[in-house]
Amino acid sequence: MIEIRGITLPVIALRIKEDGDLNALKEEIRNRVKGKLFQGSYFIIENAEELSENIVRELEEFLRELNLESIKKVGLKEKRESEKKDRLLIVDKPLRSGQKVEHGGDVLVLGDVNKDAQVVAVGNIIIMGALRGIAIAGALGDESAVVVALRMEPQQIRIGKKIAISEDSERVSPGYPEVAKVEDGMIVLEKV
């Protein structure tokens, strides 16, 4: 009845294959997304326009009960525009190992993002310090997002569906700010 596929963590696309019994559909979703892997993920109902508003609304409420967040694909642009004032999250401290910041817009970190710390943003990520941890920009699949850092020494950078992972030998920053962006289907670093 349903198809679930990952776009880029933490976003999963949900496609309803047949319009059947709502309770059976909910039970199938519950069985498919149980476990910690999907906890706190965002879901896009890809074919929401093909379903009745009642079914979409009930599915969104059900996903929230499962500690998941449903995002309407068509409504995402309007949602971003209506939340311009809340679009930027400013983190006024360094992020230590194990800490994680998630935001539905752009994130500005006034300090370092240390190894094993994580920043996840639907928009861009700007780090006024060293990036030594993980940065996930364009978390809903937006490959036009960028990651900027004064010192770029990341464990991992994700932009949309693209991933760049540092090798075992840690990267040493060249001493000037850099921007990571997607060009020709891969993540590249350029001087700012």
State the average pLDDT over residues 178-187. 94
Contact in structure between 24 and 30 (CB atoms under 8 Å): no
pTM: 0.60
**pLDDT tens figures, 21-37:** 788 888 888 887 776 66
Q: How many whole angstroms separate alpha carbon 42 and alpha carbon 74?
A: 15
Structural tokens at position 167: 């090798």
Residue 56 phi, psi (nearest 5):
-60, -45
List the one residue out of 158, 165, 128, 118 whose CA is nearest residue 142. 158
Contact in structure between 74 and 56 (CB atoms under 8 Å): no
Q: For the domain bounded by 2-74, which CATH number is listed?
A: 3.30.750.50
31, 162, 173, 192 from 148: Cα distances, Å: 40, 16, 13, 8
Confidence class of residue 3 from pLDDT cuts 50, 70 and 90?
A: low
Which run of H or E residues covers position 142?
none
- Read off the amino acid at residue 170: E
**H, E, C per residue of 41-65:** CEEEECCHHHCCHHHHHHHHHHHHH
* CATH architecture of the domain with residue range 85-191: 3 Solenoid (2.160)
DSSP notation for 89-121: EEE-SPBPTT-EEEESSEEEESS-B-TT-EEEE
**pLDDT tens figures, 126-172:** 999 999 999 999 998 899 999 999 999 999 999 999 999 887 566 78
Please state the domain extents for the chain.
2-74, 85-191
